[in-house]
Amino acid sequence: MSFMKFSHRYIPVWVLTPALLACSVNPGRAPDFSRVDRLLAAAVKDGAFPGCAAAVGSSSGSYWTGGFGTLALDRKTAGKLSLPAAAVPGPGTLYDLASLTKVIGTTSVVAALVQEKKLALEDTVASHLPAFAPASLEKKNRELKKKVTVEQLLLHTSGLPSWKPLYETCKSYRELLKAILVTPLEAEPGSLYRYSDLGFILLGELAAKTGGKPLAALEEELVFRPLGMKNTLRNPPTSRKRRIAPTELDKETKEYIHGTVHDENARAGEGITGHAGLFSTSSDLSRLARELLLALKGKSRRLDRKVLENFIRRKNSPGGSSRALGWDTPSKRSSAGELASRKSFGHTGFTGTSIWIDPENDLYIILLSNRVHPTRQNRKISNVRRAFANEAVSALNQYRKKTP
């Protein structure tokens, strides 16, 4: 398998507030990301993923972008999918974000609704979705469900199960939602951390009820359109397929999943669920990351600093959990690496995606890949993610030591 790469060293970019066109480093003295280049090129050769698109930057702009490998596993597969055989991933390549949807879409919408005072973190789920704790429910279970709050859904402490194969019986979003609404809790709300796809599907519906529009419409209206994220979407049209990296070989159809969400429950839910379903590019995610960093400096016209600070702060609830509201924070052996500051926040996606944002270092790092192509059994990406984060921070630290 051949690989190609490109890199852009501190090319100034328009950040999202038009008045802020900036480049915080002298272009002639940019950080040296050659070790990052070699790392990701080696990851392709080692089979961690067929290809990837990556980005490193700050609130002021882009330090570096890179594309390695190819979209498809090999020329034969590319031909079957009508992809150019030598197509190299880049800033405009669309990847299935998987669970990055939880933060890029759902959490961002919830934060916007909180900022607009249309939703409060202490609101109970049942107050917005009465079918979650109906009067017909057995009293003990109903009383438990009536306690679950929006904050607990964000922290994955609602007591809902982590996952269920709902796709085996559900064939629409409404069927999927109905099944989750009647799912019993497995623990007292707030007592146990259990990463829950079901909780975020519920959260997406709660946001839709509160915002008065489907989640996908709220994502577009409150997040993507204002930030110029024109390539972040659900259920991408066929016309974009040549820019989409394929994912897994479907065991039933014997066809590669391409342009359709990889997650089975999200697919059964018509690609519009709160836990997965978004496709995006490293360029678009960089826009969001820069705006978040600007907001934490008090320089965003769209995002409230105090609201965002609350969402990205580790809650230690229950004790020992690394979770913030929707987001995760660095922990032992996490994809943030060993050099990220304690104030960093990020998330990963099952398909091979990750984003980490470090306010102390004014830094974001994004890695998008299709590591599940051709199979989810490939788990080499874990070490690559950590090494990528470490090399990116190290390159920036070395640059700062040498720059007056």
- Hey, what are 239's tokens? 């016309």
Residue 310, class by beta-carbon neighbours within 10 Å (0-12 exposed, 13-18 middle, 19+ buried)? Answer: middle
Which of left, alpha, beta for 403 (phi over 0: left; psi -120 to 50: alpha)?
beta
Rounded Cα gap, residues 192 and 133, in angstroms = 20
**DSSP code per residue over 246-283:** P--B-TTT-SB--SS-SSHHHHHTTT--SSS-EEE-HH
First to last CA, the chain: 42
336 within 8 A of 389, measured Cβ to Cβ? yes
- Residue ranges of E strands in 304-399: 345-349, 353-358, 363-369
pTM of model > 0.85: yes
pLDDT value, residue 85: 85
The pLDDT profile of the chain, 404 residues, written as one tens digit per residue, is 333 333 433 332 222 232 222 233 344 478 999 999 999 999 999 999 999 999 999 999 999 999 999 999 999 999 999 999 888 999 999 999 999 999 999 999 999 999 999 999 999 999 999 999 999 999 999 999 999 999 999 999 999 999 999 999 999 999 999 999 999 999 999 999 999 999 999 999 999 999 999 999 999 999 999 999 999 999 999 999 999 999 999 999 999 999 999 999 999 999 999 999 999 999 999 999 999 999 999 999 999 999 999 999 999 999 999 999 999 999 998 999 999 999 999 999 999 999 999 999 999 999 999 999 999 999 999 999 999 999 999 999 999 998 87
In the chain, the domains with their CATH numbers are 13-91+279-402 (3.40.710.10), 104-218 (3.40.710.10)
Report how far apart, in Å, the C-alpha atoms of 188 and of each of 144, 156, 157, 285, 313 are. Answer: 7, 12, 9, 36, 23
Rounded Cα gap, residues 228 and 213, in angstroms = 20
pLDDT value, residue 13: 28
The dihedral over CA atoms of 344, 348, 354, 355, expressed in degrees to the nearest 10, equals -30
Rounded Cα gap, residues 1 and 47, in angstroms = 9
With both helix axes pointing from N to C terminus, report the angle between 381-402 and 34-45 in degrees, rounded to the nearest 10. Answer: 170
